[in-house]
């Protein structure tokens, strides 16, 4: 959640809130949203330059999605999965399977990203037990990374700021370094670095004992924890090869990178890297309803079903209203060619961000795919020395953009405690003109930030 330096104008006289927010600071009350814009009750307009937390993929208030939800509301808003099947869930699963890698055609719907990644972990564990491999329980993850806020998904999240408090309450899993190859100072090529980072997974497997390792979970294109980090191309096939060598399941967390945001339906599709299990959420429902999904092949699901069934579930799993929304969201993506637009506008946005990096050399790296892009800021571009945490550079940039009517995203990229960045991920309907407006506001905000923090500016 974005935090302001001070309460927004016009909010001081509002009554106290009984909601439990992340801080005591207040934001203005939202009034309405349409397309890439959000209006507040005091009349201000914001560009949703991050789609919320990379959720509103198809934009706000799409009439066809709202109409589909209204039709379903007139029929049934809830049907418990142990008592009934429902048509929206069946149709949604069928359509979703056609967009996933071949054979990834068994779908389990949930209400969000944390539930989706936890479901993947539980399916993997139950598969291992059902196939006579009960010693496999360790899920190796990357540091830094983010896979969710429940204790199960947090156990595979490489983020000290989020996990440290809860460590005594959960089984913390082994980690390997995230492939931040651009930071390395050596004589290797990027492709050689990609292999080196992938080989760290094999080293960790051998150190932990291959017979104890169940899975490796990763984001093909990084999310908030790494600001859209993309590994060198060589990384992805080598990871797949290592997992196959040791009989380890590869789980792709596509909660943020999936559902078309990167210019392909899955982030992993850019490298033809086929996982064993996929977690989806965020853009899958695009903010119209709480929605997420696990996708897996029958070869993993059948042994679990044969051994007594999937010992897992949530009250709203497969909810007919949520699935009606998701089905309509996928329909609108297809009808309006949004994935192709995400690829085209992503190329334009990447070029504009790289232009800002030339103007503001404290932007040391611009990265990502499609409309999931990030930029990392440093104090010294020659050494990649980070900006002092006390300067709160990321938060100040977010506030400066917010004051100018633009919402962007940011989080520390070195375990949640260090490393400044910002992410730009507007809805997949964004136009060339709107990207120009976004870049203009970011440029103005960076100019102010540079002056306040004495960061280098060209010419």
pLDDT tens, 280-323?
999 999 999 999 999 999 999 999 999 999 999 899 999 999 99
Confidence band for 10, pLDDT divided at 50, 70 and 90: very low
CA neighbor of 57 nearest in space, from 350, 307, 295, 281: 281
Q: How far apart are CA 333 and CA 146, in angstroms?
A: 26
418 pLDDT above the threshold of 80: no
pLDDT of the residue at 334: 98
Q: Which residue has the tokens 């991050």?
A: 50
Find how far residue 308's CA is from the centre of its chain: 33
C-alpha 195/C-alpha 235 separation (Å) is: 5
pLDDT at 115 over 80: yes
Residues 6+ apart with CB under 8 A from 458: 358, 359, 360, 361
- The stretch 26-41 carries a mean pLDDT of 94
Residue 327, SS3 per DSSP:
helix
Block residue for tokens 């509103």: 56
Task: Give 266's DSSP letter.
Answer: S
pLDDT confidence band for 419 (50 / 70 / 90): confident
pLDDT on residue 388: 92
- 375 forms beta bridges with 366, 422
Count of other CB atoms within 10 angstroms of residue 352:
20
Residue 2's pLDDT band (cuts 50, 70, 90): very low
Q: Which of 117-126, 151-160, 322-331, 356-365 has the lowest mean pLDDT?
A: 151-160
**Is residue 456 within 8 Å of 381, Cβ to Cβ?**
yes
**Which residues, other chains included, contact 151 with Cβ-Cβ below 8 Å and sequence gap of 6+?**
166, 169, 170
Dist. CA 287–CA 112, nearest whole Å:
10
Is the alpha carbon torsion for 256, 241, 207, 130 positive or negative? positive
Three-state SS for 175?
strand
CA separation for the pair 193, 180 (Å, rounded): 9
If you write DSSP's letter for every residue of 11-68 in order, what string do you get?
A: -TTSPPP-S--SSS---PPEEEEEBTEEEETTS-EEEETTHHHHT-TT-B--HHHHHH
Output the CA–CA distances (angstroms, integers) from residue 378 to 42, 141, 305, in the order listed. Answer: 36, 26, 50
| Residue 11 in tokens | 């909010």
The yes-or-no verdict on residue 54 having pLDDT over 90 is yes
The average pLDDT across 219-224 equals 96
15 pLDDT higher than 80: no
Query: What pTM does this model have?
Result: 0.94
Q: Per-residue pLDDT tens for 135-146? A: 999 999 999 999
User: What pLDDT does 18 receive?
Assistant: 73
Cis status, amide bond into 404, omega within 30 of 0: no
How high is the pLDDT of residue 8? Answer: 46
Among candidates 148, 35, 36, 26, which has minimal Cα distance to 408? Answer: 36
pLDDT at 21: 63
Residue 22, pLDDT score: 60
Q: Does residue 246 contact residue 210 with C-beta atoms inside 8 Å?
A: yes
- What pLDDT, on the 0 to 100 scale, is given for residue 14? 72
Cα(195)–Cα(193) distance, integer angstroms: 5
Q: Among residues of the chain, what percentage have pLDDT more than 90?
A: 86
pLDDT band at 29 (very low <50, low <70, confident <90, very high): very high
The Cα 112–Cα 94 span in angstroms is: 20
Rounded average pLDDT over 409-414: 82
Query: Under the phi-then-psi rule, with left for phi > 0, alpha for psi from -120 to 50, and beta for the rest, what region is 51?
Result: left
pLDDT in tens, 151-190: 999 999 988 888 889 999 999 899 999 999 998 989 999 9
pLDDT at 23 exceeding the cut of 90: no
C-alpha neighbours within 13 Å on the C-beta side of residue 384:
14
Distance CA 246, CA 177 (A): 19
Which of 145-149, 163-167, 323-327, 366-370 is predicted with the least confidence, judged by mean pLDDT? Answer: 163-167
CA distance linking residue 75 with residue 63, whole number of Å? 19
User: pLDDT band for position 43 (50/70/90)?
Assistant: very high
Q: What confidence score (pLDDT) does residue 17 get?
A: 74
In 102-189, which residue ranges form alpha helices assigned H by DSSP?
A: 113-130, 151-154, 160-163
Name which of 345-349, 351-355, 399-403, 408-412 the model is least confident about.
408-412
Tell me the CA end-to-end span of the chain in Å, nearest whole number.
Answer: 34
**pLDDT score for 6:** 42
């Amino acid at each position: 959640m974005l935090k302001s330096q001070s309460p927004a104008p016009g909010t001081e006289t509002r009554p106290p809130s009984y909601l439990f927010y992340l801080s005591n600071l207040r934001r203005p009350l939202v009034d309405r949203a349409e397309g890439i814009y959000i209006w507040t009750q005091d009349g201000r307009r914001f560009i949703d330059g991050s789609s919320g937390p990379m959720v509103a993929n198809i934009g706000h208030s799409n009439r066809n999605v709202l109409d589909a939800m209204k039709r379903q509301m007139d029929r049934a808003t809830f049907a418990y999965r142990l008592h009934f099947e429902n048509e929206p869930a069946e149709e949604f699963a069928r359509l979703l399977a056609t967009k996933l890698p071949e054979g990834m055609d068994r779908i389990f719907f949930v209400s969000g990203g944390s539930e989706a990644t936890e479901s993947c972990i539980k399916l993997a564990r139950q598969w291992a037990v059902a196939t006579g491999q009960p010693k496999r329980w360790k899920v190796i993850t990357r540091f830094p990374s983010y896979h969710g806020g429940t204790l199960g998904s947090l156990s595979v999240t490489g983020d000290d700021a989020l996990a440290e408090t809860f460590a005594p309450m959960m089984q913390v899993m082994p980690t390997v370094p995230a492939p931040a190859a651009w930071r390395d100072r050596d004589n290797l090529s990027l492709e050689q670095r990609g292999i080196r980072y992938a080989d760290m997974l094999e080293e960790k497997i051998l150190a932990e004992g291959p017979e104890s390792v169940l899975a490796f979970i990763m984001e093909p294109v990084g999310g908030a924890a790494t600001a859209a980090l993309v590994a060198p191309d060589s990384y992805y096939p080598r990871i797949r090869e290592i997992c196959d060598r040791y009989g380890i399941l590869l789980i792709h967390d596509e909660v943020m990178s999936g559902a078309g945001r990167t210019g392909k339906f899955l982030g992993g599709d850019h490298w033809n890297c086929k996982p064993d299990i996929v977690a989806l959420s965020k853009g899958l429902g695009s903010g119209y309803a709480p929605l997420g999904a696990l996708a897996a092949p029958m070869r993993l699901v059948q042994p679990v079903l044969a051994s007594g069934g999937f010992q897992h579930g949530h009250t709203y799993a497969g909810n007919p209203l949520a699935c009606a929304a998701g089905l309509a969201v996928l329909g609108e993506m297809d009808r309006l060619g949004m994935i192709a637009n995400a690829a085209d506008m992503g190329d334009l946005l990447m070029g504009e961000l790289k232009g800002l990096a030339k103007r503001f050399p404290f932007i040391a790296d611009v990265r990502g795919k499609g409309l999931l892009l990030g930029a990392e800021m440093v104090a010294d571009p020659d050494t990649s020395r980070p900006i002092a945490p006390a300067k709160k550079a990321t938060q100040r940039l977010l506030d400066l953009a917010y004051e100018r009517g633009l919402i962007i995203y940011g989080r520390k990229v070195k375990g949640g405690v260090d490393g400044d960045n910002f992410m730009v991920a507007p809805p997949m309907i964004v136009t060339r003109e709107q990207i120009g407006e976004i870049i203009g506001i970011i440029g103005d905000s960076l100019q102010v930030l540079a002056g306040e923090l004495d960061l280098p500016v060209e010419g």
